[in-house]
Amino acid sequence: MSDARQALQAIAARELVTVARSRASLVLFAAVTLVVVGVAVTGSSDPRYLPTTVDLLLPLELLVPAVAIALGYRTIAADARRGELDVLETYPVSTRGYVAGVFLGRLVALAVILAVPLGLVGLVLAFTSTDTPSLLAAQRGVDSPLVFVRFAVLTLLYALVVLAMALAASALARSRRSALVLAIVVLGFVVVGLDLLVLRGFADGFVGSDRLTTVLALSPTSAYRGLVFETVISTAVDTELQQAVPLLNVLGLFLWTGLSFVVTTVVLSSR
């Protein structure tokens, strides 16, 4: 194993251990579990996969960015404040390797925080669903576990994108206060900012109705929502209204991820 790969793994492990040892992270994990399980249990009187997915969609549109930003907004800023970024010149890892290691460690922690409560909900539904097929059927109209699995995977993809944006904000920050301010800006930008800009453009006539789904793919939240509608909900419910173009939405999510990595790497390289 090369020194660079060992260094990357060490950075990722350090980030994961840091999150695991933090009381705030444990509180965050408990809060996310309480919200997700609570919404799933109390949100619908019909304990099936599709209704539960619909109930969880809006809360997770708000919860996922908040959790991702909470885990990532101080990470790089804290390393810079402690002077740990200065050793990158002598440490056997490049700036991109450092960013990748930090991202990987935080991503694993974020995945656990989100996947565990979603897994608990899926487990509960497996025993309580009134219409669960014996196989993971994918036919239209069938309420199967595959519906919920797709939803969970898309939720983790959405979290990945916002985490990358949070790390970019952390790289731009010069202090704890600026890190917090940038985190709030990113949160507002992801949750409502881009959607409002698109809707304002539509209302003013700058965005035509024929291009609305394409432009919405540029918003991480709208891209996530559109993917859930097109690849999860629409597979089980007959609908003629196209909510999104899945390929464009995936490209939009990866565009924000790549752009965030570029910003983070460039900012750190210029220090």
Backbone dihedral angles phi then psi of residue 87, each to the nearest 5 degrees? -85, 0
Any idea which of 23-32, 102-111, 229-238 has the lowest mean pLDDT?
A: 229-238
Any idea which of 4-13, 182-191, 199-208, 229-238 has the lowest mean pLDDT?
A: 199-208
Start-to-end C-alpha separation, the chain: 29
Sign of dihedral through CA atoms 208, 211, 215, 217? positive
Residue 120 structural domain: 3-269
Question: How far, in Å, are 140, 196, 262 from residue 159 at the CA level?
Answer: 28, 21, 18
In total, how many domains does the chain have? 1
Measured from the Cβ of residue 116, the count of other Cβ atoms closer than 10 Å reads 15
By C-alpha distance, which of 100, 96, 149 is closest to 269?
96
pLDDT per position as a tens digit, 183-192: 898 888 888 8
Q: Higher confidence at residue 150 or residue 78?
A: 150
% of residues, the chain, pLDDT over 70: 80
Res 19 pLDDT > 70: yes
Sign of dihedral through CA atoms 55, 210, 160, 227? positive
Q: What is the pTM of this model?
A: 0.88
Residues with Cβ < 8 Å from 82, sequence gap 6 or more?
A: none
Section 223-244 average pLDDT: 74
Section 78-104 average pLDDT: 77
Q: What is the DSSP string of 136-205?
A: ---STT---HHHHHHHHHHHHHHHHHHHHHHHHHHHH-SSHHHHHHHHHHHHHIIIIIHHHHHHHHHHTT
Q: Are 246 and 227 in contact (CB under 8 A)?
A: yes
- pLDDT confidence of 135, banded at 50, 70, 90? very low
Res 193 pLDDT > 90: no
Question: For residue 49, what pLDDT is reported?
Answer: 83
